[in-house]
Structure formats: C-alpha cells, structure tokens
Structure 1
Amino acid sequence: MLAACATAVWADVDPPSRVARLNLVSGAVSFEAAGLDEWAAATVNYPMTTGDHLWADDQAHAEMHVGSTIIRLDSRTAFSFLRLDDQIVQMRLSEGSLNITIHYLSEDDAYEVDTPNGAITLLRPGTYRINSDPDRQQTVITVRGGEAEVTAGGSAFPVHARQAAYITGTEFPTTEVHPAEPRDYFDEWALNRDEREQRRPAPRYVSRETNGWEDLDDYGSWSDNPGYGYVWMPRVDAGWAPYRYGRWAWVEPWGWTWIDDSPWGFAPFHYGRWCYVSGGWAWVPGRMAVRPVYAPALVVFVGGPRWAGSFGGGGGVGWVPLAPGEVFVPAYHVSPTYVNRVNVVNVTNVTNITNVTNVRYANQNVPGAVTAISRSDFANSRAVSRSGVNVSSQTVASAQVIGMTAPVAPRRESVMGHSADNMTSIPRPRESVLAHPVVTRSVPPPAPVPFAARQQALAENPGRPLDNATLTNLRRQMPVARPEAPVARPAAPIARPIEPAGRVQPYETPATGPAPAGRPQPYEPPNARPQPVQRANPDRPPVVERAAPEARPQPVQRANPDRPPNAQRIEPEQRRTERVEPRTERQEIRRDERRPAPQERPRDEKAKPEKAKPERPKSSDR
C-alpha cells in the first residue's frame, strides 16, 4: 500500500511530458500567460500549457502542434487550454473558429473542446471544425473525418464523418444534426497546410510526436556520426552556438524556459543534446521514443564570484548546452521516475545524482559555447543576441557550475516572455466573452494562482517553481478571478470507438432534416465578389421539426460564423474604409450596433411568409 500511495503522490507532482508549440503567428495574435491577466504579443516557439490564452485578431491566424495534432485558429478567435497534460488536451473556445487535425489518438488520450453551448469530445483521428458565436449563442461542430461526441443540456449524442451538429442556447440548448457544408476559406487554408505537411518525408530519426520535427529538413541536414549515431546540423552562420539567439521566459511548472528565435528552434532545444563535431554544432536526438519528454531547456548554468565584474553591480549568469550522455536533473519538482524518463533516450545509465555542480561538463571546453547575460536582462526576458556579454576565456575557465536553473527570481516580464513596453496597444478579446462560462465534460484543474500572489514566494527561492503545497495555500487565500466552467455530466456517455451510424443509440437522435435557413454557401475564393444578401433556397422545404424558442428568431444561424461568403454580405457603405479584403466583413457583423434585435431583424422580400408557430416538439437533448 505504501508503494501505491507514493506513486500517486509522485504522479501528482510530475509536470506534463508534452506542451503545445506555437509554431505559426500570422497577423495580430495576442497571448496571456496562465495567472498573469495581461496580454502581450504572441511569440513563435512559445510552449503553451494549462491556463494559457490566445487571441487572434482581425485577419490573423495561429497554429499550434501538440505532438502530431494540429490546432489552428481563425481570425477573431478566443482560445485557451483548460488542461494540457499526458491524459487530455482540454481546450476552451469562447469565440471564433478552430480547425483541429488529429493524426494519432491513443486509448489513454483525449481531446475536448468546451464552448458556452456544449462540450465536444473528439473520439478518433480526423479533421474537425468548431465554431462558437456567443452573440448568436450557437456552437457548430463539423466532422470532416473522424467521430465526435457532443455533450449539451445533460445528454450526449454522436456526430459522424461528413456531419455537422448545431447547438443553440445555453440554459436549455437545442440541437440539430445535418450534412456537413462545403469547406470555406478557413477550411481550405487548413487543408492546404495539412497537405503541405503530408508531403514532407516521414521523420526517420525522431518520433512524429516530437514537437518541431517538421522544420528540421528545411533548415539543416542529417548525417551518421560514428560516436553519436544520426545527428542534425543546422545551416547557420559562423560563430553560432545553441541557446544564444532567443530569450528566457518563466513558464510554470517548469520555471526558466528557452524561447528560440529560429523558425526551426523548438525540437533541438527541448529534446536531445548538442555536441561540437567537424567544426560545427550538431543536435543529437538520441534513441527514438514514441512520445519524448519535453524539457524547458537542456543546459547547465555557470557563474561565480569572478563574473560580477563583467556584468556590473547586478551580476550575471551564463549557460552551456548539455552534451550526449550528460544527465538533466530538473530544478522543478519531479519524481525519480520522471528524471529517468526525461533522460532515457540520451543517457544509457541514469544513476543516483545528488550534486550536479561538482561536474565538468563537456561543452564547457568548446570555445564560444558559453553564453552569458546580466541578471537584469535575463529576468526581463530580453533578446540574448542583443544583450549578451562577452566573457573572457579565463573567466569562462574559472566559472563555477551553479545548477540546472538560473538563480534569478522571475518578474512580470519573465512570464510575458518579453519586455512590457507598449502593452496598451495589444489587441485582446472582449471581457464579456472571457467571463462567460463554458460547458465541460472533463473536470478542469483549479484556476492558476495569479503571478502577483506567487511572486514573493518565488523570490524566496530564486529559479525554482513553487511546490504543490505552497500553491494550494496561496490558492486558498485568493478569490477566483474568473468564473470556473460548469461541468456537464451526461447520463449515458458513448465509449470510444463509436459504432457505425446505423446503430440504434440510447438517446433521442437530434433532427437530421435540411440545414437551417441562412447557412453559408460553398466557399468562394477571395477574388470572387459575393452577391448581395441571399436567403435560404426557396426550393428547400421549411424546417418544421422544432419551433424556435420565443426569445429566439427563426433559425438563421450559420455553420461557419466567421466569414460568410454570401449569406450576410455587408454593403460597401457599411464597411470600414481601411478594410479592402472581402473576408474582413466579420468584424462589422459582430458589432452590436450593426445587428438589430432578433424581433426587429429585417427579412428579405423573397423570404417565406411567416407561419404560425407550431407546438414545440420534444427537444432532442431533454
């Protein structure tokens, strides 16, 4: 029993073995770190985890990789990770559109997207599109391939490939299932990026679950080294060294984390080791693992009393990359099992290590391998290449190893990932959108402790994240900053894998008739000028399976609320003068002053005459 209890305690302490790499930022994309409550410009190669938020503003897009899974954000999308660990990727979509491609899904892994209208569980590998429109109180899940399950109103139902489910309302949501609409511009963009990645050669020396593997062939080459096996050498300028072109950020629960500036700068800095061979640096990934364990930075920090003169009164800190065979001993709180897992692909025999400072590391002997910066620039997350300090070879030779973390207390800038200048101009989502609760099926962890409440405790032990006991005590003293998401528990959830669509389900199947009126037309290229407002096809029979609620207009919701090519065109005099691309109409549509109240919505003169409201049949989710 003692062993079982110890395992449970350690499992609670160990951090996740995976993160989400932010690998694409196009346009104005903003980031809010867990517990900070302040927005900053998003940074490529940032490792996102539980509690982190993203906002893609007008004409902006973002892309993240969680291993082989790809998550893409459309313009005007508010997204966050409610929970990201080894068991689940639980996402919150408060507003906007997601496109998710899952290449591999193990039996003990789960993907969930939570919206104000319902929770969506992605059950199989495939491609999924999720839209959330808080103004219309509607969520749409389109399954291009795969299987999903929707939980809303206390019940659950499946959505199969080539189907779309509409969930409307929050307190008493109504649901419908229809054939999937053709792809729009966002789907086409995501499909093109998927196809581009599929055209790449399959990874030969690293797992497909290694974040960042897809960039290596474009920026370097592989070779077989007699001493280390297959190594990867980047195409870089003379004088380049690992962990020199980027910055340090404070990312809980790992602590000091390297954020590299290079487009390929993720995998070689969070997995594997570096060695100096044939006059250049080479990355050694080690033995292939199905899911390698992420590390914040695989370096050892150096310094000592003789360094003070080179950095002024505040002192400085230096670091050097670990070489193959050298053990990484985390400064954050982990179990012995975790130490073995994070090192096993790079170290043949991980023995008991109690002192990592009484060691001479191999790359300390490589000229130019040590990089140094002042403590102030380090804590303010300034670019190392612009603020680094030249340290003499004599000072480097006398440097003392100070451990696997820098003894520097984090600041607000450390958590943001860069300087806090001009933060007032950073776009951010509406507070009303962020404050609106979402429906969850899996119970998310407690809200992160605000950084302001953690900062004093972090300063008492510089460079080391807080343990769970300290965080629990701090959490008890703090009010909840944002309302936590309510948890929806369906009475009869469907286990994966889903049976074929023809199977009789233990619930009342939602309506599967024609799609609601006003749904968007097939995708048109941006150059094709859409026609004025077009209502539902008059040849299509009216949907009479369920009457709309009294406070809701007749069904005119759209499957893709972000960019309707035809259904809701804004006339030129209504647009902002600086908007010239057809797909930027969405911002105008979302403004409250542009949208009349539901009972006052004008109808096209070709629309069907209003019929008497039939008696409302039994809803599918009641």
Structure 2
Amino acid sequence: MNYAQGSVSFQPGGEGDWVTAVPNRPLTTGDNLWTDRDSRAELHIGSTAIRMRSETSLTFLDLDDRNVQLRLSQGSIILQVRHLDDGDVFEVDTPNTAFSVLQKGEYRIDVNGNGDQTLITAFRGRGEVIGGGYSYTVVGGQRVRFFGTDQLNYDIADLPRSDDFDDWAFDRDRREDRAESANYVSQEMTGYEDLDDYGHWRYVAGYGPVWAPVGVPVGWAPYRFGHWAFVRPWGWTWVDDEPWGFAPFHYGRWAYVDSGWCWVPGPVFVRPVYAPALVVFVGGGDFDRDDRRFGGGPGVAWFPLAPGEVYVPGYRASRTYVNNVNVTNTVVNVTKVTNVYNTYVTNKSTNVTQTTYVNQRVPNGVTAVPRETFVNARPVAKNVVQVDPKQIAQAPVTHVAPVQPVKASVLGAGAPAKMPPALVVSRPVIAKRSPAPPPPPFEQKQTSTNARPGAPANVRPVEPASRQPEVARPQEAPRPQEPAGTPCPQQAPRPQEPAGTPRPQEAPRPAESRETPRPSQPVRPQEP
C-alpha cells in the first residue's frame, strides 16, 4: 500500500486484530484492508494499481507472481491493469459474481451495502463475469449491474458521468503515465511511480543510472528510518517511513557515492523479483549478545547490500529463485551467485566469514538497535545504538536475522484501529478458482508447523446451472436517462456487447466445487 487518506485499517492474514494500515507494508495472501468513511487507499502490484473508495472491504485471497485473487464484499475499487501476460490470473470475487480481467484496461467494481448487487464498469478492456451458473462478457464502454444470487439478473448501460472517485483514480493514472522513473526501471517494479517527487536520477560511472533521494533527515542511511515486521512467507521485512520507500528497499542495491547514498536499480527486467530486505545482518558469536553494545541488552545490526553483492534469503528458497532475485536486481556474475548458494544454502552455513561487504565499512552505514526494538516493530531511527565502527568492521555477518518474531512483529507498527462491520467481514463471495488456504494465526504457526489450513469459510466456488438460459436478441443498449424510474430488470443471459462477442455459455465447473477445495501451496517467493 503506497497511499492512504483518512482511516484505513489492516488485518494480517490469520490474525484477529485490526491495526492502522501503514504505507509501504507489503501485502500478501490472507491480508485484509478496510477503508472507513471518507477514506481512500491505493495499492500497487507491479504496474497494476488498485484504488479503494471509502467503506470498502478487500481481502487478498491469493497473491503470487502470476495470480491475484481479491475478495470485495462491500464498497468500490478501480483497477488499472497495465500489463497481463498469458496465463496471468486477475480475479475479483463479490457476493454474487466472480469477475476475471481478460485484457489490460481499467475497470471499476462496486458492491452495495447489502451485498446483493454488483456494478461492473469497463472503461477500457474486456472481462468475464461468472454468476448464477453462467458466464458473461463485459467490454470497454459498458456498465453492467448484476443483482440477485442464485438467479442472477442484469441491466446494462453506457458509461455514466465520472464521479469524484473516478476523477481521483484517473488523476493518479496520469501521474504514473508521466513518471520519469519508467525510463530507468521496469514498470513491473512495485513502487517506482513514487520516486519522481522525492529524488533525481543521474549517471555514475560503473553503476549506470542511479537515483538519489532529496530532503532526507540528518543521519539518514538506507534501512534506518522505518521498522521491521514479520511478513509471511518471507519473514523479516523492512517497512520504510518515506513516501517513496518501497522500490529502493525491495529491489536493487545501495551505494555510497560522493559522500551520499544513491540507489542502483540494476538491469531492467519485465518481472523484477521482490525481496523483503536487501541487507546483511551483523551478528554471531558474542557480538549480538554483548549487553554493553546495545544499551543493556542483546541487539541486532544490519547494513544494505552494495551493487554486485549477492543476496541470500533468510527464508526457504530454490536455486532458481536465488539466482533470479540477484540477477534482476544488480549486475552480478551467475557463477558468483551459484557459489554463494552452495555455501550458505546447500551447505547451510550461516556465518559469512570470507566475503568483504563494502557498506559494512562505510561511515554511518551500519544500523544497530536493541532486540526489543527490532522484534516489536518500533521505530528504528528513534532507538539507534551507536556501536564502535572498528567492532562493526570486524564483526561476523549473517544472512539471517538472529531473532525470533513475536505477535507484535506480525501486526507491525500500526495502532489498534476500527474494524469493519462483522457482517461485511463474514459475507461469502463467489469464486471462479479455488483460492489459496488462509494462513494460520501466528501463535498456531509457532506451536505447530505441520498445520494444514482448509479453504476460506466465506468463499464458495461457482456452481453451473443445469440448463442454458434463453438469450435475448441483441439490440442497442439505451442511454441512461435522468430519473425516470428504475430500469426493468431482466433475467440475465449476458450483458449486451458489440457484434462478434462470444455468446453466453455455462460457467466451467471448478476443479473442486462441492468438495472442500484442496489446499494449494502457500504463497511462494516469486520465481519467474
């Protein structure tokens, strides 16, 4: 989430507590968001923007490198889908429809407060709607209202005049279209659109184009002004305070050039690979247990990786992932990545003793805090501990943070926040594809790593009807008129479309419809 206005609440997947949503917190499968009255939020998944209106409840049923499945039980969202590869899935499930994006474009989905009506507006593009046992196609320039549940009805109209929510979303689109940073990084890099307003690009020999932030606080260093959160499946994840603080802390590398820090994004790839924090931790032996170094208790220290240095995940990952998360984020020799993988993953070595890291010796490059600050998602900058640079330079380093999470690590830095209405949270939705299993609560995960959660209780696969509906003869859709009464509802064969659009057909039966959906694999780190 890169933008929030008003009161926006967040519930990590599997947890019962709601907290204030914090910008730059990565979202993943099972997470819930609620925008309260007079509030808005904007999220990005690569080049795709999701914008939420007030009093909107949104859940990530599934989220990985090829699948996005959202649960919209109430409220309004606008989707700007700029890129859609073959095989990519983007699905929005509502109480009476399952909407799938078929082409890149811009779409709006509205669900009323009772959950029995869904409005789907296609400004541009093409999508498929499944509900009541049948499938329908919605094309650019149409607005279709679906109402009913088991018996799905519809009415159709041209695009209405834009409202303030549309205008806000379109203005945000234009801002992204003008982004200079798109000349230096892939548009599939989540968060790139926020760089232009807070820094400038320049060329540095040996690195190529680099980006330098402006207006940062005194004593600023990468991975210092923010907090740590424990986000599954990756584990320890950096959440930065700056409004531009997503892309530079999950992609690329940081270099100290001409007495200042600059971000080096590396090669431009269509699908850059996300990492929770591109850092190395200082610790091991007696260093992180020496109470004298961290203000009377154990501590944690870290520094950013420099260009060409290999990132080794602290979570389980394949050789392919480790290779891709490095070569898409910095210029590095593949053989070097392989050697590092063999040493620290295959051979399970945790202490890095034979590698020289540039930023470990940069003045003010290492950040250290008491362990309580780290695990409780407290502001790092307010709790920094000064450690002797000579000790830092000589200390062992590790790719894994030497601490265990607590529940506060999962909830993050947000204060307790307003919950959405219970009826909205529990309202079931229709789903075309079986979603990923919800994550277990943190306490259960800690005590039982073998737990196998079931399918979400408030999601049911669509059931095809037993017969084909009668199809009305296509005719010109009437323009909406000024208040002359509510249009007469029709039994839905499908929304009207331009000539050549496919006829409605029975909705395909999900792989598992009446049986409990088989749990799929948990969300994995991106593996192109």
Matched, 1:543 2:488: yes
Q: Distance in 1 between matches of 2:51 and 2:163?
A: 14
**Structure 2 unaligned runs (5+)?**
345-350, 493-503, 508-528
Aligned partners of 1:509 and 1:277: how far apart in 2?
68
Does 1:147 pair with 2:123? no
Which residue in the other structure is 1:584 paired with?
Answer: none
2:381 corresponds to 1:385: yes
Give runs of aligned pairs for residues 185-584 of structure 1, distance below 5 A.
185-201=164-180, 203-235=182-214, 236-304=216-284, 305-306=286-287, 307-312=290-295, 314-345=297-328, 346=330, 347-349=332-334, 350-353=337-340, 354-355=343-344, 357-358=352-353, 359-401=355-397, 403-418=398-413, 423=416, 426-456=417-447, 470=449, 473-475=450-452, 483-488=457-462, 508=471, 536-537=483-484, 543=488, 545=490
SS at match of 2:49: strand
| Gap change, CA 1:372 and 1:159, over 3 Å in 2 | same
Change (3 A) 1:543 1:296: same
Q: 1:156·1:490 contact (CA, 8 Å) conserved in 2?
A: no
Deviation at 1:237, TM superposition (A): 4.2
Runs of 4+ in 1 over 4 A off after TM superposition: 489-492, 509-516, 544-547, 619-622
Distance 2:115 2:247 in 1: 41
Secondary structure in structure 2 of the residue aligned to 1:486: strand
Q: Does 1:115 align with 2:115?
A: no
Higher strand proportion: 2
2:20 aligned residue (22, 27, 41) = 41
Equivalent residue, structure 1, for 2:7: 28
- Alpha-carbon offset, residue 178 of structure 1: 2.6
Structure 2 vs 1, CA of residues 544 and 451 (structure 1 numbering), >3 Å: closer, same or farther? Answer: closer
| Deviation of the 1:182 alpha carbon | 1.9
Q: CA deviation at 1:267?
A: 0.8
- Quote the Cα distance in structure 2 between the aligned partners of 1:434 and 1:252: 22
Following superposition, the deviation at residue 514 of structure 1 comes to 6.7
Distance 1:136 1:69, change over 3 A: closer
Q: CA deviation at 1:487?
A: 0.9
1:71 aligns with 2:66: no
Per-residue deviation at 1:136? Answer: 5.6
**Displacement of 1:452 after TM fit?**
1.8
Could you tell me how far 1:314 is from its partner in structure 2?
Answer: 3.6
**CA distance in 1 between partners of 2:159 and 2:202 (Å):** 47
TM-aligned CA distance change 1:58 to 1:374, over 3 Å? same
Query: Which region of structure 1 is more displaced relative to structure 2, 33-42 or 223-232?
Result: 223-232
Write the distance in 2 (CA, Å) between the matches of 1:439 and 1:71: 20
- Which residue identity lines up with residue 267 of structure 2 in the other structure? R
**Alpha carbons 2:155, 2:490 under 8 Å: kept:** no
Question: Which residue identity is paired with 1:418?
Answer: A
Inter-partner Cα distance in structure 2 for 1:242 and 1:133: 44
CA distance in 2, matches of 1:170, 1:341: 44
Shift of 1:28: 0.2
CA contact (8 A) 2:153 2:490 kept: no
The amino acid of 1:390's aligned partner reads: Q
Classify 1:512/1:29 alpha carbon distance in 2 versus 1 (closer, same or farther; 3 Å): farther
In structure 2, what is the Cα distance between the partners aligned to 1:30 and 1:439? 24
CA shift for structure 1 position 172: 2.5
Root mean square deviation of aligned Cα: 2.7
Structure with larger RCO (C-alpha < 8 A, sep 6+): 2
- Deviation at 1:200? 2.9
Q: Deviations over 1:88-147 (max 9, x none)?
A: 111110100001111111112121100001100111111111001141611110111111
Q: Using the alignment, how far apart are the partners of 1:314 and 1:201 within structure 2?
A: 46
Task: Assess, with a 3 A threshold, how the Cα gap between structure 1 residues 510 and 330 changes in structure 2: closer, same or farther.
Answer: farther
DSSP-derived class of the 2:183 partner: coil
Which residue pairs with 1:94 in the alignment?
Answer: 73
Letter in 2 for 1:334: A
Q: Which runs of 5+ in 1 are unaligned?
A: 1-21, 458-469, 493-504, 522-535, 548-618
Cα displacement (A) at 1:156:
0.2
- SS of 2:201's equivalent in the other structure is strand
Q: Any conservation in 2 of the 1:154–1:491 contact (CA below 8 Å)?
A: yes
3-state SS of paired residue (2:24): coil
Q: Secondary structure at the match of 1:330?
A: coil
Distance 1:246 1:158 in 2: 45
Counterpart-to-counterpart distance in 2, 1:510 and 1:309: 82
The separation in 2 between residues aligned to 1:326 and 1:164, in whole angstroms, is 51
Amino acid at match of 2:301: G
Which one of the candidate residues 161, 165, 170 is aligned to 2:144? 165
Corresponding position of 1:606 = none
State how many pairs are aligned: 478
Q: Please give the TM-score of this superposition, normalised by the length of structure 2.
A: 0.85
What secondary structure sits across from 2:293 in the alignment? helix
User: Which position in structure 2 is the counterpart of 1:15?
Assistant: none
* Equivalent position SS for 1:128: strand
Greater gyration radius: 1
Query: Which is worse superposed, 252-261 or 129-138?
Result: 129-138
Q: Deviations over 1:444-478 (max 9, x none)?
A: 01121111201346xxxxxxxxxxxx3xx2136xx
Task: Tell me how far 1:490 sits from its aligned partner.
Answer: 5.2
Task: Give 1:311 shift.
Answer: 2.2
Partner Cα distance (1:510, 1:265) in 2: 54
How much has 1:157 moved relative to structure 2?
Answer: 0.7
Amino acid at match of 1:303: G
Structure 1 residue 334: Cα displacement: 0.9
Tell me, yes or no, if the aligned pair for 2:426 and 2:458 is still in contact at 8 Å: no
How far apart are 1:395 and its partner, in Å? 2.7
Q: Is the 8 A contact 1:213 1:267 kept in 2?
A: yes
